[in-house]
Chains A and B, each alone.
Chain A
Amino acid sequence: MRRDGLFRRLVIAATVVWMAVFGVVPNLLVLGASVSHPSPTTFLSPGFTLGNYALLLDGIHAQILFSSLKLSAAVTAICFGLAYPFAALLARAGRRTRHVLLVLVVIPFWTNSLVRTYAMTVLLNTSGLVNRVLFALGLIDAPLTLLYTTGAVVAGLVYTLLPFMILPLYAALDRFDPRLEEAARDLGAGRFQVLWYIKLPLVLPGIITGCMLVFLPGLGMFYVADVLGGAKTMLVGNFIRDQFLVTRQWPLGAAASTLLTMIMIVLLLIYWWSQRRIHEGKLDV
């Protein structure tokens, strides 16, 4: 029995230590850096200031932040609009079709996102396929500049992140029992009522997961903005990278990173709330 307790204690200790060192401490360090005074020599200088957050929400920095938030919100909305009908059709398809379609969605999901971003540049190039098709159709006389625009960044982000929206939506819709819908209809509920009171609450955790998996990378994937937008479009990710590696304003970068974490925490709280609504029987299903 003694060896027993040793194994258990060792494993628990390893778990706690690992999670503390790589999960909790790094985030606390960033939080600490975000409220420390800017210093050219160290990440963490003593003292406390909210100046970095003030700087982040001021002038040009606020503009970058705001436009990145807007862009990622647009990407999330487009992904949702494209993915929802697709996921719904997938959930209703027959077994065989469903398996094939799922594999077809999972392959791009796992393919290196840089590879996929690059594939987009091949398509959008001045002599790329899109321009060729438009030209052949007689819609344009001269090639359009599609690459290195904000539109290209939006297209690239939608392209890389779409599977991350489809899969959680599919999982949620697949779990949804269509008999609930029928039952509600039989009891006299209208189409809208069924959607609002029955389907939406049950599918909501999936919707939030999908939005989280699109919205957060949509703020952070700096290489998509670099490769497709030239240096013109800045995401929060580009901003953070530049603060850490170019201008060396670590506290400002740390503040931006903390802001992303806070956005994530808000989204997670909404997710937990939507889950709990289902499990605690506030929705009786």
Chain B
Amino acid sequence: MKWLRRIYIAMVLGFLYIPLAVMVVYSFNASRFSMDWKGFSGEWYLQLWNNTGLLTAALNSLVVAVVSATLSTVLGTLIAFTLTRWRFPSRRVIGATLFVMMMSPDIVIAISLLVLFMLLGLPLGFGTLVLAHVTLCLPFVAIVVQGKLHGFDPVFIEAARDLGAGDFAVFRYIVVPLVTPAVLAGWLLSFTLSLDDVVISFFTTGPTFEVLPLRIYSMVRLGFKPEINALCTIMMAITSLAVIIAYRVFKEEK
């Protein structure tokens, strides 16, 4: 029975990893047109490096990911704090809305924001894309941080209050340090969500501001190219590294 279980686990992992492994191997294949192995080559990586359009798109993606992860982390933490600490009329509605937003299919978020931006007359580009990505990421941050805030002992806050701390001081000196791991997790989550997104970017950015997933999308639709293998391999390597680092950080935290 034990080996049967092992085989099952290996099969599922094989299903998850074989396609990626094949792609990585082909990214080093010297042949341009055939899928036969023609020897090891780093040519496609070199070509990526020389493709300025692609590099611009990659840089754009990184900028959007950093900016929207930072904004959604700040806003999401504030919202989580507001919802757990203070009572005000629309509190429950906001909690429910956050959950619904988190579960909403990307295409629904994309369409609804597109309609909003059109009505407001905002030109599609960097600004609208960041707003859209913050909308996408914020509920995740808020819910992760809220989970942490629910977990901690209110004694800390009460003690600080007794010592004369105001709302802002409590937030800055008690809440922020205590929830830092959750906030960091939220930031990383947002960063990867933003980099991973195709659907929302597709609708909310304009021709003036191209991001990497959309660039890849148009390349992939035109068919097989070894450069895509190389590009996708790099993206996968970055994600894997981020996951492993995050995992290490949070394991030590525990």
Contacts and interface: CB of A to CB of B under 8 A. Distances in A.
A8 B198 CA distance: 37
B20 to A, nearest CB: 5
Interface string A1-29: 10111011001101110110111111101
B100 interface: yes
B5 A89 contact: yes
Contact of A89 (B9, B35, B203): B9
**Majority-rule SS of A interface residues:** helix
Contacts of B239: 107, 110-112
Given A16-B90, A29-B119, A108-B16, A264 B111 contact: no
B48 interface: no
B199 A221 contact: yes
B173 interface: no
A53 interface: no
A122 B107 contact: no
B78 A14 contact: yes
A220 B199 contact: yes
B18 A123 contact: yes
A82 interface: yes
Interface in A206-231: 212, 216-217, 219-223, 226-227
Given A3-B168, A8-B167, A268-B100, A125 B35 contact: yes
Contacts, number: 227
B20 A111 contact: yes
In this complex, the interface size class of chain A, counting residues with CB under 8 Å from chain B, is: 35 or more
B73 to A, nearest CB: 14
Contacts of B134: 22
B196 interface: yes
A86 B75 contact: no
- Most chain-A Cβ atoms within 10 A of its Cβ — which of B23, B82, B106, B112? B112
B101 A23 contact: yes
A121 B224 contact: yes
Interface in B114-147: 114-116, 118-119, 131, 134-135, 138
Contacts of B105: 216-217, 219-220, 237, 260, 264
Given A7-B166, A33-B115, A237-B107, A18 B75 contact: yes
B108 A220 contact: yes
A111 B20 CA distance: 10
B217 interface: yes
Contacts of B131: 22
A277 B202 CA distance: 40
B113 interface: yes
Contact of A26 (B17, B116, B138, B202): B116
B3 interface: no
B19 A120 contact: yes
A260 B35 contact: no
A205 interface: no
A240 interface: yes
A222 B107 contact: yes
B217 A119 contact: no
Interface of A: 1, 3-5, 7-8, 11-12, 14-16, 18-19, 21-27, 29-30, 33, 43-44, 82, 85-86, 89, 99, 101, 103-108, 110-123, 125, 127-129, 159, 162-163, 212, 216-217, 219-223, 226-227, 236-237, 240-241, 244, 250, 253-254, 257, 260-261, 264-265, 267-268
11 contacts: A15-B82, A22-B134, A44-B115, A104-B13, A107-B240, A120-B19, A223-B199, A240-B107, A244-B111, A257-B111, A260-B107
Given A21-B116, A110-B192, A250-B115, 13 more contacts: A18-B138, A22-B134, A26-B115, A33-B115, A43-B119, A99-B247, A105-B16, A106-B247, A112-B213, A112-B236, A119-B20, A163-B16, A253-B111
The list of the 5 closest CB pairs from A to B, nearest first, reads A26-B112, A119-B19, A220-B107, A4-B166, A127-B35
